[in-house]
Amino acid sequence: MNQINDSDFKYVWFDFHAECAKMKWENLSKLVQQVKEQLVDYNYFTATLLRGFDEIDKMANEATYIQKEQKGVIRTNCMDCLDRTNVV
């Protein structure tokens, strides 16, 4: 991450094994607090499929209305356990 040197990228270290030992899943809230601003800012993608647009395009009878656009991605990785990655 230091080599990339791009302010659009943010690296957050979270020691899942140490924080959530003995099934203390509530400690994931510490991670959420660290990335909450990005989660809100990035938003999420949602669209609605509209039908009945034959008069606009004779070839198509459906169109998509984009309601919200996503502006970013959060990636998570666990070095040795896919289950932990999925929990996060």
Structural domain contains residue 67: yes
Mean pLDDT of 22-45: 93
What's the mean per-residue pLDDT of the chain?
82
Structural domain contains residue 5: no
Residues facing 62 on adjacent strands: 51
Structural domain contains residue 4: no
Token pair in block for residue 82: 């896919």
* C-alpha span between 12 and 30 (Å, rounded): 11
* 24: confidence class by pLDDT, cuts 50, 70, 90: very high
Structural domain contains residue 10: no
* Residue ranges making up the domain that contains 40: 16-87
**How many domains would you assign to the chain?**
1
Mean pLDDT of 61-66: 72
Q: pTM of whole model > 0.85?
A: no
Is residue 65 a contact partner of residue 81, using CB atoms and an 8 Å limit?
no
Assess whether pLDDT exceeds 90 at residue 48.
no
Mean pLDDT of 59-75: 80
Structural domain contains residue 45: yes
Q: What pLDDT does 5 receive?
A: 86
* C-alpha span between 65 and 62 (Å, rounded): 10
Say how many CA atoms lie within 13 Å of 50 toward its Cβ.
10
